């Protein structure tokens, strides 16, 4: 079976579980070749619904988690997105496929921050190979500080677990009406995924489900 067949089967399974419902997210998951973002030794597992190691103790999330976060963010063409935790670059490519599809008359952009220089460099290579390099900017730095240069953002997603107190710069760099999707709670066990909607100076917080992410390390993260 080739990669495309495996990808289609994975997406059919996620649709059956009602994890994938939005046409824009389904289309993006069908388009982005996940196998180009996983380490060579794991290519045959690229379309299994499981997280995979990408080195330096970090993981590319399981596809159902990518799908859940993209759905929760309600991403739309033209939006400016900030991702904290580039890792493999796969999730950034998915977001870019939705906010900045090729030939869009109103393309958005994805800014993604990674604290490990090596991972950022590998992600850049994968993004180049898959033709997302002009739609995704990879920045090396501490994403708990957000990325003030291009703020405010329509949507922010964090793909590492924050302490209970959400990093204030991320809330500050969100547009009015914007959505922040972030796992928070603890370094390892006992994390929940939150959807935070900004309304003026108020934040509406919704807990989605229990999750397991690697820790968010940085000034407003863990040590």
Please report, as ranges, the residues that interact with ligand SAH according to CB under 6 A.
Answer: 58-61, 84-85, 87-88, 90-91, 113-116, 119, 142-144, 159-160, 214, 216-218, 221
C-beta of 63 vs 178, nearer to ligand SAH: 63
Least distance CB 181 / ligand SAH (angstroms) = 12
End-to-end, the C-alpha distance of the chain in Å comes to 44
Least distance CB 163 / ligand SAH (angstroms) = 11
Least distance CB 60 / ligand SAH (angstroms) = 4
C-beta of 55 vs 190, nearer to ligand SAH: 55
Positive or negative CA dihedral for 126, 128, 134, 138?
positive
Buried b (16+ CB within 10 A) or exposed e, 196-205: bebeeeeeee
Alpha-carbon span 35 to 171, nearest angstrom: 33
Least distance CB 193 / ligand SAH (angstroms) = 13
Alpha-carbon span 93 to 85, nearest angstrom: 13
Q: Is 181 helix (H, G, I), strand (E, B) or coil?
A: strand
Q: Is 182 helix (H, G, I), strand (E, B) or coil?
A: strand
C-beta of 199 vs 219, nearer to ligand SAH: 219
Residues with a catalytic annotation lie at: 61
C-beta of 37 vs 204, nearer to ligand SAH: 37
**Is 153 in contact with 175 (CB distance < 8 Å)?**
yes
Nearest to 156 by CA among 139, 143, 138, 142: 143
**Is 35 in contact with 46 (CB distance < 8 Å)?**
yes
What number of CA atoms fall less than 13 Å from residue 73's CA on the CB side? 34
- φ and ψ at 52, to 5 degrees? -135, 150
C-beta of 81 vs 177, nearer to ligand SAH: 81
Least distance CB 129 / ligand SAH (angstroms) = 15
Residue number of the CB atom closest to ligand SAH: 87
């Amino acid at each position: 079976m080739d990669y495309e067949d495996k990808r289609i089967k994975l997406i059919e399974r996620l649709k059956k579980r009602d994890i994938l419902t939005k046409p824009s997210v389904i289309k993006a998951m069908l388009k982005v070749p996940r196998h180009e973002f996983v380490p060579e030794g794991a290519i045959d597992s690229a379309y299994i619904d499981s997280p995979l190691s990408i080195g330096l103790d970090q993981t590319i999330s399981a596809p159902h988690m990518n799908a859940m976060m993209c759905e929760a963010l309600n991403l739309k063409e033209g939006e400016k997105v900030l991702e904290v935790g580039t890792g493999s670059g796969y999730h950034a490519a998915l977001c870019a496929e939705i906010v900045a599809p090729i030939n869009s008359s109103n393309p958005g952009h994805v800014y993604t921050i990674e604290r490990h220089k090596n991972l950022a460099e590998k992600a850049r290579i994968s993004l180049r190979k898959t033709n997302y390099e002009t739609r995704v900017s990879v920045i090396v730095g501490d994403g708990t500080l957000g990325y003030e240069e291009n703020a405010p953002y329509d949507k922010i997603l964090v793909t590492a677990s924050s302490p209970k107190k959400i990093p204030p710069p991320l809330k500050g760099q969100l547009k009015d009406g914007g959505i922040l999707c972030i796992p928070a709670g603890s370094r390892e066990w006992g994390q929940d995924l939150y959807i935070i909607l900004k309304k003026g100076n108020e934040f509406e917080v919704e807990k989605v489900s229990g999750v397991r992410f690697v820790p968010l390390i940085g000034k407003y993260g863990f040590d």
